[in-house]
Amino acid sequence: MEYHDKVLKCSECGSEFVFTAGEQMFFADKGFKNEPKRCKNCKAKRAESGGGGGGHASPMRSETKTNCSQCGKETTVPFRPTQGRPVFCRECFQQRRAMGAA
């Protein structure tokens, strides 16, 4: 397939930007179906501010203080623990992960 440069409009700032033939080829190789929505400047600003998708409603993570189920040490986790499920500190979590991979 032959690609030609396209002029697109940024959904963020409204300015026009070029979606080059090379970029189109890259998108096709990766299997991307949608064209880019933002110009390079707006894309960079969005990435810098941490607004890079993932479906999270809030860009801020809520940290919850709790005690590790294995060693009892106080720790913080980036989620709200569920009743009846163990919560591990970083060291115990990594230790359990290493044992599971072995």
Check: CB of residue 62 under 8 Å from CB of residue 80. yes
Confidence at residue 47, expressed as pLDDT on a 0 to 100 scale? 86
Domain-embedded: residue 31: yes
Confidence at residue 52, expressed as pLDDT on a 0 to 100 scale? 57
Confidence at residue 100, expressed as pLDDT on a 0 to 100 scale? 82
Domain-embedded: residue 1: no
Whether residues 10 and 44 share a domain: the answer is: yes
Report the number of distinct structural domains present in the chain: 2
pTM of the complete model: 0.47
Domain-embedded: residue 37: yes
Confidence at residue 36, expressed as pLDDT on a 0 to 100 scale? 94
Q: Which domain holds residue 79?
A: 64-101
Domain-embedded: residue 96: yes
The amino acid sitting at 7 is V
Domain-embedded: residue 24: yes
Whether residues 42 and 74 share a domain: the answer is: no
Nearby residues of 82 by Cβ (< 8 Å), 6 or more positions away = none
What residues in the chain have per-residue pLDDT under 70? 51-61, 101-102
